[in-house]
Structure 1
Amino acid sequence: MRKKVTIVGAGNVGATAAHWIASKELADVVLIDVVEGVPQGKGLDLLEAMPIEKRDSHILGSNDYADTANSDIVVITAGIPRKPGMSRDDLLNTNYKIMSDVVGKVVAHSPECILIIVSNPLDAMAQAAFKQAGFNRERVIGMAGVLDSARFRTFIAEELKVSVENVTAFVLGGHGDTMVPLPRYSTVAGIPITDLLDAATIERLVQRTRDGGAEIVKYLKTGSAYYAPSAAAVEMVEAILKDKKKILPCAAYLQGEYGIDGLYVGVPCKLGSRGLEQIIEIKLTAEEQSALQKSADAVKELCAVIGV
């Protein structure tokens, strides 16, 4: 029997994630949204592309959660973007209500699924989904670090004029201004970038990584990034469906790891068929640990606003 992945939210991120999953023939896809017609239209359009792509993935667009029943993975992208004049707390409260509603419906139809959270503010939404679902922490994972690391890898590869395949990078912490890129653990063909780039250049690339989302928003003006965020979520989906045991930076619920307890924070995670199979603890310098703690404190503030 083929695997089934539901994507909640048929906007740019959700629809593009459906595209990546279908084109890789990873699973059948249900694209669900509250707006009538949009998921149906995008789902049918994508389904009609499959003969050209020579893929037998089935895509269904729907407004009815009954169609999501027995999903193996549910990717949640639903939520509103921050609008001009809207405070962070307004955004947080609105998206918290959406997340609570979505998770309740998803869990009712797919009690055995694994949740991948993409909605922003990412770490707080992952925490909200975890509390609402009542799942163990292995089955609720947030997508952030894969995207942030991909941005860092892009900038390193461009700077050194090397293949992106040669570049590995690690970004820890919350998804936002307080993220913690780790140059010591970022390498080109195994060589630490600290041996290849001077400190000022590394700091410039680190800052550009932190500002990665904002840089794209500035260009688009009325929207935000969706190709890379959706590809990042799908890398997690693929690692789980194929039981790859792949180590990726994800937002996970920490229970004492890195000295942080009861909070979703970005750390290296091993993903396999059970979802989060292991949190990898790496040795951090005092400065890195302090930056990670600062990032965790920022997440904690957001969680306090919505009481999760």
Structure 2
Amino acid sequence: MKTRIISALVLLPFLIFVVVSGGLWLKGATIILGLIGMHEFYQAFSKENTGLHIIGYIFASFYGLFMEQIINADNYFNIFVSLFLVVLLIYTVVCHNKTNALDGMSGFFGFFYAFFLLSHIYLIREFAYGKYLVWLAFIAAFGCDTGAYFIGVNFGKHKLIPFLSPKKTIEGSIGGILTATLLSLAYGLWIGNVVVFEDVNLLLLCGLAGFFGSFLAQIGDLAASAMKRLTTIKDFGKLIPGHGGVLDRFDSVILTAPALYYIMFFLIEVKP
């Protein structure tokens, strides 16, 4: 626990710096963390297939460098995804003696799971009011984790999904959602007094982000546990002492960030 706390205290200033800075700092950090996450995923599911990994890293790097254009321009994302899949299929066929269809699928999924979902932190930061609202992704994820832990320890009696996570309880899960939702609403009340949000129902946005973000944070945590059980590993990596790898630390944030982004997309009117 001591190592875990020290690591968190060391990483927190870096996280705050890159998110507050935004722009190239945040994009660079997102690309680096995304590539590390992909490496962790590939090592877990297709350790020996270096050629497939290289294809994934190349497409992920290209997406990371031009993600605004790929996401915002009509059909660019469809073209990118189609081309990525076709190249993986070509590699699977041409190099059939050292790869297989399952490796190809893990190459495709690894990008979306470890890189694409995480990239929404940057997309949120660059969206309207993003420098204020991006913190909701972390409030939902870490608030849920904290609330679930304390409520579960003190009141937890009914196991949630013991096969995937023996210590998690239904009471803790509900407590995590309530904690994250209340913290998100509190943040909305505070930031609404500091910044003028034109034509935005800020409390509705914050409430939805807290509720759905915390629910998906738990799904992300349990999904990562399912993957680790399948591959018989304890952690995806050892980059962060006491926490594991990038995917171990951000397994909940990579689902809260997309949830927040699309809530913002539908509730915030972007003026031309």
TM-score normalised according to structure 2 size: 0.31
TM-score normalised according to structure 1 size: 0.28
Q: Kindly indicate whether structure 1 or structure 2 has the higher relative contact order, using CA contacts under 8 Å at least 6 residues apart.
A: 2
Structure ranking higher in strand proportion: 1
Structure ranking higher in helix proportion: 2
